[in-house]
Chains A and B, each alone.
Chain A
Amino acid sequence: ETGVTQTPRHLVMGMTNKKSLKCEQHLGHNAMYWYKQSAKKPLELMFVYSLEERVENNSVPSRFSPECPNSSHLFLHLHTLQPEDSALYLCASSQRAALTGELFFGEGSRLTVL
């Protein structure tokens, strides 16, 4: 495996379900990110982890809960989501977090909330 891999690629869930998105990076990077991409809207940063410590929570609702057990893995736990949360969730990594623009993205997890 190379680069940044995300699973599942597609997820359909009801509003009362609990699910998780997984991301793994094989680049030896120290920072990992969750971004949200909705139709007709710019990419939105959700969370940043640097060396397994959360350094940014971009005003994300608590129904999204990130977890970074080590520098290679990142999870996004989902519970009681709303239909407007349907979007493409992109994981990314970079060598460092501070003022970086060089992100490597995974292929994304397409989430549909019914």
Chain B
Amino acid sequence: DAEITQSPRHKITETGRQVTLACHQTWNHNNMFWYRQDLGHGLRLIHYSYGVQDTNKGEVSDGYSVSRSNTEDLPLTLESAASSQTSVYFCASSESDMDTQYFGPGTRLLVL
């Protein structure tokens, strides 16, 4: 069955370290998204991609970067982790712009 996976599921890191969260989907979807979920804010879009080599900034992109070298993967990098980036991160994919997004199980990140 097609699926979307995230790794690691839990991560503890220190302020200033670079961290990369992995997202892999086997739906063969063109569109992939990264969100963060925080209490009182719901899900906020960090970055998204509509295809290989395409990346776009979302609502809360500062301090994050993504790259899309193939259809299946969209890794999210925190260049220099900050305590404000402690959150739960969700990756999602969809076939097209208007299509339902399918979410991964999430990565819980703690920045100390």
A, B bound: no
